[in-house]
Amino acid sequence: MGLHGIAGAVCRALTAKKDGPSLYDVCDGVLLGYRGGNAHLGQFYRTALGNPALRPLLRRTGLPALKDADRLARLRAALISARDETTPDWAAVGAPIAELMDDIDVRHPQPPPATAPVRAPAMAEIDQTIRTTAAHLLRSFATNGFIPTYAAFNLLGDADMRGRELLMALTGLNARAYKNSTLLFSLARIFIARSPARALINPPWRGIAEPMWEPVQIRHRSAYYDAFFTEALLSFAETGLASVDEAAAAQRAISDMVAFCLRTSAEEVPSHDGSIVKVITALAPGPHPRFSRFFAQIRQNLGFGIYVPDCDTTACAFSAATQAGSDDPILDQPLLDFYRGYQVRSGANEPVVTVPLNDHVDYDGGVVTWIDNLNGDRPYGNDLDPTLNLDILEVTFRNLKRWKVIETPQRLETVHRIIAFQMNLVESGAFRNPRSHIYYLPELYSAYFGRCYAAFVALPLAAQRIIDPGNVFALIRSRVLGYVTGELITHEMNAFDAALALMALAHLNADAATFTPALHCIVHSIGEGGRNGPYNAYEWNKMKTPTRILVGGPEVTSAFVLMALTLARRRMASSE
């Protein structure tokens, strides 16, 4: 949105005709200046929703439904219960808000069809883009001492979060602060969706992955991101395009990031067999996340102070370190033994998924996201994401011999059950549905399946047959390629969409002729990032609760473009 559009949206929000009580009419009397009760609820309200930036934009947005005095009273009574009760009935607290959420008009992007470009960019343009994106990553590392990623709040919320899902979250999340923030963000989005400020908070965009609005990005460092930056720089080194100085700089960055993943971000947790295992947390203790003092305080005020390890960060960190040739003893741990304790078995431990936002998916065989720390904290409850399970398979294939997977029946069974989970997901077509994915998008699932598939086909044929006797990987490959070639690349894309499409196509050995739309988009989008880098920041992953929190950044886009182009370049060279 340009300056003219921003000014227009602000003007309309400030001068809108008010029709019913506003968010502040509902909440100020309940959540400002009270004593006793839960202090965090009021603190969150003042910090996130009642702040001087947002209040003027929403103060004239009224809700006609709340002109009903009884309905307004029930809503205020629910907020008072959340404020004053030690253990509120969260289903009852959320009920009046859930009723108001179901007619919010928030939808997933539906890009229009695009005209296919006539020819692919020249190899010289591809090589120059590889050099440009790699230089961006190396320059960022040299400037910051790490490669940053950013988080941004989208207050309009996620299209999949309706009243039913709100109640799932309120009853399934564990941390009181996280319940508070989910409750109030959900209430706020009801008003935002009806406000002229909506155009300012959530402007339209091109493609599927959402761009991130620069003024509200929170810079930080995480082992999860370092793992993928490591893979990107490894792919650059393999091209032969790096100068001597660039190759040395890339190796220094890779060594630092692997150490950050395996040492700085490692913590011990209890396994289900009573042993202690080292896993990787996505947010290491301070000062390692590198938040500014300002955002560190806001994070604390918003109730995000406790963070626990997760299965995805652990898998991706182990994978990146393995690819980088690390011999750290932590890699000798057979993660499958640990993951088995977090694997869902229908009718047995299925309630481990306490926040089942994608409950149309058959969870059997899948591994959940969050890992209990030594204190037993589980602030986010638990959920199950399909893409995470691809990462578990990928790291397993890279460590098949080290972990003696084929030789250990229990480990092999764990792998077979994850593969069966993926087969059910793909056969049903659910992988194409954004609602199936907790932290990612279908296009990213496709790229990550390609990454997993490449690790699988690199195994000896005998091992492939033992791991996949039913030829499931061939079935999933066919369905994912159908989605990418039939839907994703035939519609308008942004650079991040195109990078993910290209990663999937190259990893899955698609005909090089199918690369053209994605290559064209990537090469012709370069420069869009202005002073921040070659490309804009786009949504890489997200949190659906407490609101839609996007994670990405200009460096992230450069990393995915770099990986996609190096893969495509190799495939194009081999097909000549």
Reduce the secondary structure of 522-542 to three states and give it as a string: HHHHCCCCHHHCCCCCEEEEE
Domains of the chain: which residue ranges?
3-110+159-199, 123-154+202-571
* 3-class SS shares of the chain: helix, strand, coil, % to 5: 55, 5, 35
Q: How far apart are CA 539 and CA 549, in angstroms?
A: 9
Q: How many residues does the chain have?
A: 576
- Three-state SS letters, 396-421: HHHCCCCCCCCCCHHHHHHHHHHHHH
Q: The tokens of 164 are what?
A: 């039913």
- Cβ-contact 395, 380 below 8 angstroms: no
pLDDT in tens, 333-365: 999 999 999 999 987 656 789 999 999 999 999
Please report the pLDDT score of residue 470 as a whole number: 97
What stretch of H or E contains 278? strand 276-280
pLDDT in tens, 415-473: 999 999 999 999 999 999 999 999 999 999 999 999 999 999 999 999 999 999 999 99
- Cβ-contact 103, 189 below 8 angstroms: no
What's the Cα-to-Cα distance from 284 to each of 109, 263, 307, 313, 378, rounded to whole Å? Answer: 34, 10, 8, 11, 16
Q: pTM for the whole thing?
A: 0.94
Cis peptide before 287 (omega within 30 of 0): yes
DSSP annotation of 347? T
CB atoms within 10 A of CB 330: 18
Q: The tokens of 151 are what?
A: 């988080």
Q: How far apart are CA 430 and CA 360, in angstroms?
A: 8
Q: Which of 164, 169, 29 is nearest to 545 (CA)?
A: 169
Q: Which stretches of the chain drop beneath a pLDDT of 70? A: 1-10, 13, 214-216, 292-306, 348-350, 576
Give the three-state DSSP class for 271.
Answer: coil
Looking at the DSSP bridge assignments, the partners of residue 492 are none
Q: Is 334 left (phi over 0), alpha (psi -120 to 50) or beta?
A: beta
Please report the pLDDT score of residue 143 as a whole number: 96
Please report the pLDDT score of residue 102 as a whole number: 84
What sign has the CA pseudo-torsion 356, 360, 364, 367?
negative
What stretch of H or E contains 220? strand 218-220
Please report the pLDDT score of residue 118 as a whole number: 86
- Helical residues (DSSP H) of 18-122, grouped into ranges: 23-31, 39-44, 55-58, 69-84, 90-101
What stretch of H or E contains 550? strand 548-552
Residue type, 188: A
Q: Which fold has domain 123-154+202-571?
A: Glycosyltransferase (1.50.10)
What's the Cα-to-Cα distance from 291 to each of 265, 282, 283, 435, rounded to whole Å? Answer: 15, 14, 11, 31
Q: Which of 496, 557, 549 is nearest to 521 (CA)?
A: 496
- Cβ-contact 172, 356 below 8 angstroms: yes
- Cβ-contact 443, 488 below 8 angstroms: yes
Q: How far apart are CA 362 and CA 441, in angstroms?
A: 18
Q: The tokens of 23 are what?
A: 């968010």
Q: Where are the beta strands (DSSP E) in 52-200?
A: 149-154
Please report the pLDDT score of residue 202 as a whole number: 85
Looking at the DSSP bridge assignments, the partners of residue 268 are 278
Q: How far apart are CA 458 and CA 111, in angstroms?
A: 35
Please report the pLDDT score of residue 371 as a whole number: 95
CB atoms within 10 A of CB 154: 21
- Cβ-contact 223, 313 below 8 angstroms: yes
- Cβ-contact 366, 384 below 8 angstroms: yes
pLDDT in tens, 276-326: 999 999 887 777 777 766 566 656 666 566 678 999 999 999 999 999 999
Q: Which of 219, 217, 374 is nearest to 306 (CA)?
A: 374
Looking at the DSSP bridge assignments, the partners of residue 280 are 266
Looking at the DSSP bridge assignments, the partners of residue 118 are none
